Amino acid sequence: MTQARKNQINCTDTPYYHCISRCVRRAFLCGTDNSNGKDYSHRKEWIIERLKLITTVYAIDVCSYAIMDNHYHLVLKINKEKVALLSDDEVIERWMILFSGNVLINRFIKGECKTQAEIDKCQEFIDLWRERLCDISWFMRSINEYISRKSNAEDKCTGHFWEGRFKSQALLNEQAVLSCMTYVDLNPIRAGISDSLENSEFTSIKERLDELAIGSHLLAVENKKETQQAIKLADFVGSKEVDGIPYRLMDYLELVDWTGRAIRDDVGKRGYISNSEPKMLNKLGISAEIWFDTVNEYNKGYHQFIGSEAELKQVCEFLSVKWVSGIKNSRLLYR
């Protein structure tokens, strides 16, 4: 049963969410249209540039992303602490990067609001904008509406560009975040578009590897041009006591590389397991035996909420329902 968005996104449950938007009309609106041979790949750059801008506005961190031919994935983390620390002037400044203000706010900025009623009304606007700066629905709207308008203008048409509103999945624990980020980063390899992480264009894993290579002076000088990304990604911190993704970056890269190699080497045989199992799987209590099935068929086995069996049962109690999709898969994955 479809759940209201307010029930799917709740910072009290988790700050982590997997969001997906898919194109409509024809199959390749972000890639090559097979019907006329026209290449629309430049629209992926539009999404990158838009993400680059709005991540400086919203208090929402991008943990991973993958932009495919007809859809894109984001793993997002709501940063409530960050938005709470913003001053009222900073909230106004951020909001007006993307949206126009109003006459009253413009007067407030100039110090022309004299009555208490005017000041109180301005404070209402600021409080509303502060709330929206950590709202995933507004974050996704800021991407999709912009891309839709720009694409329709290029195609000289009107109508829907995206297949309805975005789909969201709540990631209720570390294991869910880890498996979802891996699933997202390996999208081009699973689709057969790329044969390595280093060649997986328009993904966060390539961005992180490029940053590591530049930081370690492993790239030749002539190859140090600006890469296709430049999105500010959430940091890996390796500790719950520090704000960020609670893993070590090198451990995560090892796991994604190991999983990607197994996917490439698996010639149609499900459940392929490499001999050198990454230590992160044992640390988080994840069953390696079905890890590949989880990553390969992520969207088929899970729906709005992803976590352990106990956590999904808590969701059932909160929503006053008897069952949510994914409990069976969670029972198998989390040992």
CATH number at residue 67: 3.30.70.1290
Same domain, 296 and 317: yes
Q: What is the Cβ-side half-sphere exposure of residue 317, based on CA atoms within 13 angstroms?
A: 7
Boundaries of domain holding 29: 9-83+134-333
Q: Are 97 and 212 in the same domain?
A: no
Examine residue 244 and state whether it is found in any structural domain, yes or no.
yes
Computed over every residue of the chain, the mean pLDDT equals 81
Q: Indicate the number of domains in the chain.
A: 2
8 A C-beta contact, residue 9 and residue 145: no
Which pLDDT band, with edges at 50, 70 and 90, does 310 fall under?
A: confident
The pLDDT assigned to 67 comes to: 95
Q: Which of 132, 165, 191 is the last residue of a domain?
A: 132
Same domain, yes or no: 110 and 180 = no
pLDDT at 11 over 80: no
192-210 residue pLDDT tens:
888 888 889 999 999 999 8
Is 1 part of a structural domain of the chain? no
What's the rounded mean pLDDT across residues 109-122? 90
**Quick one: 174 and 323 in the same domain?**
yes
CA distance 274 to 277: 6
Q: Which amino acid, one-letter code, is at 31?
A: G
Determine what percent of the chain is predicted with pLDDT higher than 70: 74
Q: Which of 7-11, 88-92, 320-324 has the lowest mean pLDDT?
A: 7-11
319 vs 36: CA distance, rounded Å: 47
Question: C-alpha angle with apex 312: 309 to 317, nearest 5 degrees?
Answer: 125
Ranges assigned E (strand) in 107-265: 167-171
Q: Taking residues 75-79, what's their average pLDDT?
A: 95
φ, ψ of residue 8 in degrees (nearest 5): -80, -30
- Transcribe 165-212 into DSSP letters: SPEEEEE-SHHHHHHHHHHHHTHHHHTTS-SSSTT-TTBHHHHHHHHH
Do residues 94 and 243 share a domain?
Answer: no
The 10s digit of each residue's pLDDT in 134-185 is: 999 999 999 999 999 999 999 888 888 998 889 999 998 888 898 899 999 9
Residue 2 lies in a domain: no
Q: Which tokens go with 56? A: 């400086």
Beta bridge partners of 233: 62
Please indicate, yes or no, whether residues 209 and 325 belong to a single structural domain of this protein.
yes
Identify the pLDDT of residue 239.
62
Q: What is the pLDDT of residues 275-298, one digit of tens each?
A: 567 777 777 667 676 677 777 766
Q: How far is 284 from 197, CA to CA, in rounded Å? A: 23
Share of the chain above pLDDT 90, in %: 40
Together in a domain, 269 and 191: yes
